[in-house]
A and B are shown apart, each in its own frame.
Chain A
């Protein structure tokens, strides 16, 4: 509810405000919903003046309608697809993370969600040369790991530092701090990073369920409302600023024993695309399987296996490159041991 205040619009002066309050009209919604003719008589003000005030307030506070054709043109020019750096994941995501959408990675502990997030951040910062905002709520992000991944891409110290500088990190552990951070990013205050600048193309939140899950359940409604606010803030960032949002979520077991994403039914319609990560029983320790469980572009339930070490692969096998080699990508013809 938006309260009526003096000076909100031309024509809304002290006298008018007092007479409106006397008629029990305190908010913009009350004024807009009431019958102007009656109100003009009750407050003994001119119908014309009140009608003009109503029209200005309505124009100030409503959402502006946009024609479908204009929306389409605008999106055509501003939407981009960011590759994740891993071709199997890109295949699942229909060539990568789309800006303007929220993609969710869900999986049990140790399924590699954070590793995938690190890899995506490094790929976008180094190869695509775009800024990334990384919000860490689990404490799992270390600069050392990011540096290690970058060192397999290039040996040039300057390039490594430049790429690391493009990754802006925030570490927070409760939902109010998360909301504060997200609103700050939208408004442009806070530590230098601002989504409005245009160079931020990706926002990674690892993990969103860690801050929201403790608030759900029980009789209080606060948790659901806060979850809804986080969803609205993420969606605003994605749509209005053309940012690709990647979030991670935990899993719970459904009645029949299958793994399903956490945070319940009310969160399930927030992400546009959902991927379930699982360990592969047989095979090397780095192998994971990713299943597409929700997508608006592809048939669901397609599965891809991939290697978590894809982002840290280097010439000559696992564990970092040998001395003196120039950076280079290993071709896909070798299979991982």
Chain B
């Protein structure tokens, strides 16, 4: 009996120490993942969560592809050469679009770039919770994985609400559990998370402001506490420039411009507004604008 217990303890300790080693190895910091989006030196550090919020057609998934490409490209091509885990709850990952964005940067090493990406598809919040538990072992075995992309975290909002019945606590239970688990993964493995979120009601068109009522997150408090940066995406009115000549930029004339308003409330508090267009080669930033230093960020 004693010997049996002893061997159990041995296994247990070996298991824990392997996990401990995996946690201690520093994963790549992603502060410089896209300096054009975040305020000066305000990019997401290890253990931080960025929520990308906005109605459909505002370029959220394109932004994720842009960040993904930046991460999987080899350092020689200007990338960060880290592994990425992509949790797809919406069945919206378009691998061909991703491949064409990667292709336009670097065609020869397409396959090796794509092999740094791991895709998981979940069809319910229970499956998401169990998959996140499973991902813990994946993260231990892949020390280079530094980025977790979730598209989108609000996919099961309505299913959870109807399953939960009348009690709000029951409705939010699954997402709260997922958020707690994500918090633990953040602390233990020091990864960075980007997650997209769809709004549930239509907002009136107009310049987005960080204090707008309609842009407040509708997800549970446990998730809201995890989020350290928020990128609110919106569409601008399509530019019509009939004055432009027809030389080459005729295509560009009608390209939709998307605006991203970034608020961060960790480290260097700040906010930033940037704009981008979507071209065949991916996201192309147009101009960026920082609000004057006196303006406080209202959350």
A and B associate in one complex: yes
Chain A residues with CB under 8 Å of chain B are 1-2, 28-29, 32-33, 37, 46-48, 58-59, 61-69, 71-72, 75, 79, 221-222, 224-225, 227-229, 232, 235-236, 238-239, 255, 264-266, 268-269, 272, 294, 296-297, 299-302
Interface 1/0 per residue, B97-111 and A, CB below 8 Å = 111000000000011
Q: Complex Cα distance A268/B181, Å?
A: 30
Could you tell me the distance in whole angstroms from the C-beta of B88 to the nearest C-beta in chain A? Answer: 9
Q: A29-B126, A48-B11, A235-B90 are in contact. List 16 more A-B contacts (CB 8 A).
A: A62-B133, A65-B138, A66-B120, A67-B118, A68-B98, A68-B115, A71-B95, A71-B114, A72-B114, A224-B158, A225-B158, A228-B158, A229-B159, A265-B55, A266-B198, A269-B198
Q: What residues of chain B lie closer than 8 Å to A221, measured between beta carbons?
A: 158, 161-162
Interface 1/0 per residue, B115-132 and A, CB below 8 Å = 111111111001101110
The A-contacting residues of B in range 113-163, CB under 8 angstroms, are 113-123, 126-127, 129-131, 133-135, 138, 155-156, 158-159, 161-163
B130 and A265 contacting across the interface, CB-CB below 8 Å: no
Q: Which residue of B lies closest to A57 (CB)?
A: B130
Q: Which listed residue, A29, A61, A236, A296, touches B94 by the CB 8 Å rule?
A: A296
Q: What residues of chain B lie closer than 8 Å to A63, measured between beta carbons?
A: 120-123, 127, 131
Q: What residues of chain A lie closer than 8 Å to B131, measured between beta carbons?
A: 62-63
A-B contact pairs, 19 of them (CB 8 A): A1-B126, A2-B126, A28-B130, A32-B129, A59-B134, A63-B123, A65-B85, A65-B120, A66-B119, A66-B120, A68-B95, A68-B117, A71-B114, A221-B161, A222-B162, A229-B159, A265-B200, A266-B158, A300-B238
Q: Which residue of A lies closest to B92 (CB)?
A: A269
Q: Which listed residue, A67, A222, A265, A268, touches B117 by the CB 8 Å rule?
A: A67
Q: Which listed residue, A58, A71, A222, A236, touches B123 by the CB 8 Å rule?
A: A236
B57 and A268 contacting across the interface, CB-CB below 8 Å: yes
Q: What residues of chain A lie closer than 8 Å to B115, measured between beta carbons?
A: 67-69
Q: Complex Cα distance A232/B158, Å?
A: 12
Q: What residues of chain B lie closer than 8 Å to A227, measured between beta carbons?
A: 158
Q: Complex Cα distance A229/B199, Å?
A: 18
Q: Complex Cα distance A300/B210, Å?
A: 28
Q: Complex Cα distance A191/B4, Å?
A: 58
Q: Complex Cα distance A221/B162, Å?
A: 6
Q: Complex Cα distance A46/B1, Å?
A: 11
Q: Contacts A48-B11, A222-B162; is A29 near B119 (CB within 8 Å)? A: no
Could you tell me the distance in whole angstroms from the C-beta of A53 to the nearest C-beta in chain B? Answer: 14
Q: Does B8 contact A (CB under 8 A)?
A: yes
Could you tell me the distance in whole angstroms from the C-beta of A75 to the nearest C-beta in chain B? Answer: 5
B238 and A269 contacting across the interface, CB-CB below 8 Å: no
Q: Which residue of A lies closest to B60 (CB)?
A: A269
B94 and A272 contacting across the interface, CB-CB below 8 Å: yes
Q: How many residues of B contact A (CB 8 A)?
A: 63
Q: Which residue of A lies closest to B162 (CB)?
A: A225
Q: Complex Cα distance A221/B113, Å?
A: 42
A255 and B201 contacting across the interface, CB-CB below 8 Å: no
B254 and A299 contacting across the interface, CB-CB below 8 Å: yes
B56 and A294 contacting across the interface, CB-CB below 8 Å: yes
Q: What residues of chain A lie closer than 8 Å to B111, measured between beta carbons?
A: 69, 72
Total contacts A-B at CB 8 Å = 148
Could you tell me the distance in whole angstroms from the C-beta of A273 to the nearest C-beta in chain B? Answer: 11
Q: Complex Cα distance A255/B55, Å?
A: 16
Q: Complex Cα distance A322/B123, Å?
A: 54
B119 and A65 contacting across the interface, CB-CB below 8 Å: yes
Across the A-B interface, give the 9 residue pairs with the lowest CB-CB distance, nearest first: A68-B117, A225-B162, A68-B114, A235-B91, A224-B158, A69-B114, A269-B56, A268-B56, A69-B115
Q: What residues of chain A lie closer than 8 Å to B255, measured between beta carbons?
A: 299
Q: Complex Cα distance A229/B116, Å?
A: 32
Q: Contacts A67-B114, A69-B114, A225-B158; is A297 near B130 (CB within 8 Å)? A: no
A268 and B55 contacting across the interface, CB-CB below 8 Å: yes
A71 and B119 contacting across the interface, CB-CB below 8 Å: yes
Q: Which residue of A lies closest to B135 (CB)?
A: A65
Q: Which listed residue, A46, A228, A255, touches B159 by the CB 8 Å rule?
A: A228
Q: What residues of chain B lie closer than 8 Å to A62, measured between beta carbons?
A: 127, 130-131, 133-134
Could you tell me the distance in whole angstroms from the C-beta of A71 to the nearest C-beta in chain B? Answer: 5
The A-contacting residues of B in range 75-96, CB under 8 angstroms, are 85-86, 90-92, 94-96
Q: Complex Cα distance A61/B120, Å?
A: 13
Q: Does B217 contact A (CB under 8 A)?
A: no
Could you tell me the distance in whole angstroms from the C-beta of B72 to the nearest C-beta in chain A? Answer: 8
A68 and B118 contacting across the interface, CB-CB below 8 Å: yes
B161 and A66 contacting across the interface, CB-CB below 8 Å: no
Q: Complex Cα distance A69/B161, Å?
A: 36
Q: Does B256 contact A (CB under 8 A)?
A: yes
B130 and A66 contacting across the interface, CB-CB below 8 Å: no
Q: Does B225 contact A (CB under 8 A)?
A: no
Q: Complex Cα distance A265/B116, Å?
A: 34
Q: What residues of chain B lie closer than 8 Å to A33, measured between beta carbons?
A: 129, 133, 177, 181
Q: Which residue of A lies closest to B156 (CB)?
A: A228
Q: Complex Cα distance A67/B122, Å?
A: 15
Q: Does B12 contact A (CB under 8 A)?
A: yes
Q: Complex Cα distance A237/B231, Å?
A: 32
Q: What residues of chain A lie closer than 8 Å to B91, measured between beta carbons?
A: 232, 235-236, 238-239
Q: What residues of chain B lie closer than 8 Å to A238, measured between beta carbons?
A: 91
Q: What residues of chain A lie closer than 8 Å to B202, measured between beta carbons?
A: 264-265
Q: Which listed residue, B8, B62, B199, touches A48 by the CB 8 Å rule?
A: B8
Q: Contacts A66-B120, A71-B119; is A58 near B95 (CB within 8 Å)? A: no
Q: Does B204 contact A (CB under 8 A)?
A: yes
Q: What residues of chain B lie closer than 8 Å to A28, measured between beta carbons?
A: 126, 130
Could you tell me the distance in whole angstroms from the C-beta of B54 to the nearest C-beta in chain A? Answer: 10
Q: What residues of chain B lie closer than 8 Å to A265, measured between beta carbons?
A: 55-56, 198-202
